[in-house]
Amino acid sequence: QNPRLVAMSLPALALLGLEVPAADPAAAEAEAALFFSGNRVLAGAEPAAHCYCGHQFGSFAGQLGDGAAMYLGEVLGPRGERWEIQLKGAGITPFSRQADGRKVLRSSIREFLCSEAMFHLGIPTTRAGTCVTSDSKVVRDIFYDGNPKNERCTVVLRIASTFIRFGSFEIFKPPDEYTGRKGPSVNRNDIRIQMLDYVIGTFYPEIQEAYSDNTIQRNAAFFKEITKRTARLVAEWQCVGFCHGVLNTDNMSIVGLTIDYGPFGFMDRYDPEHVCNGSDNTGRYAYNKQPEICKWNLGKLAEALVPELPLEISQLILEEEYDAEFERHYLQKMRKKLGLIQLELEEDSKLVSELLETMHLTAGDFTNIFYLLSSFSVDIDPSKFENFLDELTSQCASVEELKVVFKPQMDPRQLSMMLMLAQSNPQLFALIGTKANINKELERIEQFSKLQQLTADDVLSRNKRHWKEWLEKYRVRLQKEIESVGNADAWNAERVKVMNSNNPKYILRNYIAQNAIEAAENGDFSEVRNVLKLLEHPFQEAEGLQEVREDAEEEGASATAAVCSQDTRSRQPYCSKPPLWASELCVT
């Protein structure tokens, strides 16, 4: 009812050959709201929902499918590229099960903004063309705590070369030995052959051409390529601190895209065990587990391709290719983030791990510390070095922030009972808790206790000591770069340029999305649009950023709204360390 446009991404819509005429933008917005709410079907569209299965949190869930996404068809873009388009949240599909097929404003804004943010960060992703909300309402219990509320039905136009997933090939799975569930197309190898022919012929044409006379070799080459693409994708995630949150096999793209933005999150304070999904009680999809989980998911894809690709071939490919490709791409990207552009030394891996360890020890902001490092130079004078150190440590958590982070979450009596239960009745304990959760709580208690004894000066001097130690190692490594070049000034200019195009100043932090969501829920879509502009230029040196500032001024909006939007609760620019309340946000 009464659909209206929240925001549109002009670069994404341009893929489909769509643009907003300058003469009548209001009419274009109304038309977008009409068609991309699903209220009017595009000419030539054949709405359908995709059937797939999946391993969810490690267990085979059987048939799933698009329960809230409606495939409209394929668009031939102006450059001759083919794009599948989907409406997510447009209502019931054959795979909605007991749900209503709807999405709400908060989740849709998050998916819309993050799809475009990832693209502009240079990370393979599905795209989002529009976000359209309405007066139609559905009831949602956001935190699954018995406090439901009415929320606005909202639809996102998603765009990708294909939405086929690893789980698409799991529809052939025979009864699972653990869950007993099976796919809906057991023994239909004819469909598996059809799907492989389609996927490889359409999205991997060079492989189809090279192995047209040998199906096994063709399928092996395809599996090798998706293994390497997935490894590179996860390496990219790790290098910007992105956590997907729900890395089930049905959320893994068959062409190596980031797909299905749910309870994702970009890390603020660096924590290798960061879990962005409030529903992930065991931490299965924690930040540091993403590489191994994606490898596990590729193993499930390998199983799903049998007999068209024998398991002994695919498993060998997985073992030989995945880890090596991940490490290679990760280190290559990290070298760029650190400005190591001349030499590739074995010691670089250690330098990176020591940087991350220093970030962890000082609770440093992942994005902002990387961003600041381009200001560091080998011959920095002592007074400027102290200023740099002050700036760096200002991006580390304060005592107050650490107390919020390590605040114990269990009632002491509950913890005592759980500890006793773990000893006396492990079977019952396994139903209501995990050892990892208990250990995490004990660690929180220990850290919280230590923090009570520390002053702000104690933390600051400790942090400065840690950073001085690492910066000296970094200085020595940069010196080796200088010694290998003829022109140190030209090298330094190139180093800074490379760093500034690999270390974003702006990412979609949860609290930035939350500000935009709260404004939109109150009928003000301007913040969503401002944040979108911001995320289209995540690097300070990005070409065209000045134009965004000038356009914003011309339109009567303040320049800072488009480039460094203000947080209404804390009045902080979006390029600064997040406010204290941000650490308490929970996304399920």
Interior angle at CA 479, CA 474 and CA 483, nearest 5: 155
- List, in sequence order, every residue forming a beta bridge with 265; answer none if it has no partner: 243
d(CA 500, CA 123): 16
Element spanning 10, H or E: helix 10-14
Concatenating the DSSP letter of every residue in 106-141 gives HHHHHHHHHHHHHHHTT--B-EEEEEEEEEEEEEE-
d(CA 530, CA 185): 46
- List, in sequence order, every residue forming a beta bridge with 63; answer none if it has no partner: 53
Residue whose tokens read 């189809």: 208
Alpha carbon dihedral 539, 110, 278, 410, in 10-degree steps, equals 80
At 423 the pLDDT is 87
Type of residue at 284 = R
> What sign does the CA torsion over 195, 200, 205, 209 have?
negative
At 543 the pLDDT is 44
Token pair listed for 460: 């600051």
- List, in sequence order, every residue forming a beta bridge with 86; answer none if it has no partner: 71, 158
Residue whose tokens read 């250690």: 350
State whether residue 404 is helix, strand or coil: helix
At 408 the pLDDT is 87
At 427 the pLDDT is 84
At 550 the pLDDT is 37
Terminal CA-to-CA distance of the chain, rounded, Å?
27
Nearest to 267 by CA among 571, 588, 511: 511
Token pair listed for 314: 């695919």
Nearest to 87 by CA among 124, 27, 139, 132: 132
At 499 the pLDDT is 97
495-501, Cβ contacts within 8 angstroms, sequence gap of 24 or more: 495/339, 495/341, 495/374, 496/339, 496/374, 497/541, 498/336, 498/339, 498/341, 499/336, 499/337, 499/338, 499/339, 499/373, 499/374, 500/374, 500/539, 500/540, 500/541, 501/539, 501/541, 501/542
At 571 the pLDDT is 52
At 561 the pLDDT is 36
At 583 the pLDDT is 85
Output the CA–CA distances (angstroms, integers) from residue 88 to 131, 529, 585, in the order listed.
Answer: 10, 20, 25
Token pair listed for 214: 């040998």
Type of residue at 360 = H
Q: Sort strands 69-76 and 82-88 into parallel, antiparallel or unpaired.
A: antiparallel
- List, in sequence order, every residue forming a beta bridge with 524; answer none if it has no partner: none
Burial (Cβ within 10 Å: 0-12, 13-18, ≥19) of residue 218: buried
Q: In sequence order, what are the residues at sequence separation of 6 or more whose Cβ sits closer than 8 angstroms to the Cβ of residue 554?
A: none
Domain boundaries, the chain: 4-168, 191-335, 403-450
d(CA 261, CA 385): 41
At 107 the pLDDT is 97
Q: In sequence order, what are the residues at sequence separation of 6 or more whose Cβ sits closer than 8 angstroms to the Cβ of residue 297?
A: 55, 166, 230, 247, 248, 249, 252
Say which of 66, 250, 280, 365 is annotated catalytic: 250
Q: In sequence order, what are the residues at sequence separation of 6 or more whose Cβ sits closer than 8 angstroms to the Cβ of residue 429?
A: 418, 421, 422
Query: Is 250 an annotated catalytic residue?
Result: yes
**Positions in the chain whose pLDDT score sits under 70:** 541-571
Type of residue at 525 = F
**Share of residues in the chain with pLDDT > 90 (%):** 78
d(CA 135, CA 137): 6
At 569 the pLDDT is 55
d(CA 308, CA 295): 20
Token pair listed for 340: 């190591």
Q: Could you read off the pLDDT of 515-556 as tens digits, one per residue?
A: 999 999 999 999 999 999 999 999 974 344 443 443 444 443
At 297 the pLDDT is 98
Element spanning 430, H or E: helix 426-432
